[in-house]
Amino acid sequence: MQRVYLDNNATTIVDPRVKEAMEIYFCQQYGNPNSLHQFGTEVHPAMRVALDRLYAGIGAADEDDVIVTSCATESNNTVLKAVYWEVISKTNKKRILTTPVEHPSVSHVCEFLAENGAEIIELPLNKYGIVDLSTLKEYLDPEKTALVSIMWANNETGIIFPIKELAAYARSQGVLFHTDAVQAIGKIPVNAREVGVDYLSFSAHKFHGPKGVGGLYIRQGAPFVPLLHGGEHMGGKRSGTINVAGMVGMGLALELANYALEYEATEVRRLRDKLEDAILAIPDTLVIGKRELRVPNTILASFRGVEGEALIWDLNKQGIAASTGSACASESLEPNPVMVAIGVDRELAHTAVRFSLSRFTTEEEIDYTIEVLRASVKRLREISSTYKKC
């Protein structure tokens, strides 16, 4: 049976070139970078190269900070709690403006901060599933707002948010702006300085780097306190012995991902559109978001009358890996929250399936997926208690 991996928004394969670059830091150059002896100092040049790649890869200025974390969840927690301690707990600016479709590593932190005095406002989405500038202008009161936190691209739909214009307006009002760029980096161009954000989160395992390592961009002068204290690592901004192999891997993965952006925009998009067209040719289906307003690798599709869980298990039995939405919500049998937030009816929101490709996806894999998907949907509808051919 052929195995086809179409859940790249959950995690990706490590690029073999990244794996190779990481290997020597396990059994050859394994010293603690903070050690003064040669086992520690010999890894410094590679760390410098990795940091240079990270700065260049996300468009950070030399005067900005980029810290290495364990994952984007840590990066998001760090930003939101830093703004809480440095702004919300010390001034009359108690508000965080965010969206109803953020990843739980933003939304659940906001819920926690609301229990501790923050005021969280979820900005309504328009019919395209994004926050438009007029909405931000309507809700943003600069006297009361500490931070705007809006993701660059949604992990379930792939819908891209207009970060440049939103961040520019927040900056014009003297309000801090954070973007969770996890699902944008490696798919579309991301440049922190160009769009003018104060904070930007990312995660290596979303762009063919290793799991367990992420990053956080902090614009020069942006308020900050560490989430993790206890050592002078990362200039005191993130304590803990640095994951040298992960840092080297993430730096190279980001450089390779940016080299491949043209391939993402052409070949990956072509294969995604081929699968999407085949899905839309099946009766009573729906794809969320206009494809030109999405990152090139993602489809969130709805198959009327077919439970999302049933379909992904049927596909899984035939070797195809997809998801009902984000991996962190995959245990939930609730309707897809993103679809509910953008107004899709709840019955359809139970039938969501996410397909996310990568630069390693082949045409043969897409052709096999189309063949299997057509048969699976047909078979499941025949036994469906709710599907009546419209």
Ligand X SMILES: Cc1ncc(COP(=O)(O)O)c(CN[C@@H](CS)C(=O)O)c1O
Contact positions vs ligand X (CB under 6 A): 9-10, 71-73, 103, 105, 151, 155, 180, 182-183, 203, 214, 326-328
**92 touches 119 (CB < 8 A):** no
Identity of the residue, 179 or 305, whose beta carbon is nearer to ligand X in the bound complex: 179
CB of 214 to ligand X, least distance (A): 5
Q: How far apart are CA 390 and CA 284, in angstroms?
A: 7
Q: Among residues 61 and 333, whose Cβ is nearest to ligand X?
A: 333
Closest CA to 146 of 199, 191, 84, 216: 84
Query: Does the active-site annotation cover 110?
Result: no
With respect to ligand X, which residue has the nearer C-beta, 55 or 152?
Answer: 152
Nearest distance in Å: CB 345, ligand X: 23
Smallest gap from Cβ 159 to ligand X, in A, equals 12
CB of 234 to ligand X, least distance (A): 17
Q: How far apart are CA 69 and CA 51, in angstroms?
A: 13
Active-site hit among 27, 110, 328, 390: 328
Consecutive H or E run containing 299: strand 298-303
> CB 183 → ligand X: shortest distance, Å?
5
- Min dist CB 62 to ligand X, Å, is 26
Q: Taking the complex as a whole, how short is the minimal distance between the CB of residue 172 and ligand X, in angstroms?
A: 26
The type of residue at 303 is F
Query: Residue 336 is encoded by which pair of tokens?
Result: 């897809």
Report the sign of the C-alpha dihedral through residues 124, 129, 133, 134, in that order. negative
Q: Which is nearer to ligand X, 305 or 335 (CB)?
A: 335
Chain CA centroid to CA 264, Å: 16
Task: Report DSSP state, residue 291.
Answer: G
Structure tokens at 277: 């067209």
CB atoms within 10 A of CB 340: 18
Beta strands 320-321; 176-180: pairing state: unpaired
Side-chain half-sphere CA neighbours of 373 within 13 A = 29
In the bound state with ligand X, the residue whose beta carbon lies nearer, of 8 and 351, is: 8
CB nearer to ligand X: pick between 81 and 94: 81
Alpha helices (runs of H) in the chain, residue ranges in sequence order: 16-22, 24-27, 38-41, 44-58, 72-83, 104-114, 133-139, 163-172, 192-195, 244-259, 261-263, 269-280, 308-317, 337-341, 346-349, 363-382
Nearer to ligand X, 258 or 356 (CB): 356
Residue 185 main-chain phi, psi, to 5 deg? -60, 130
Active site residues: 328
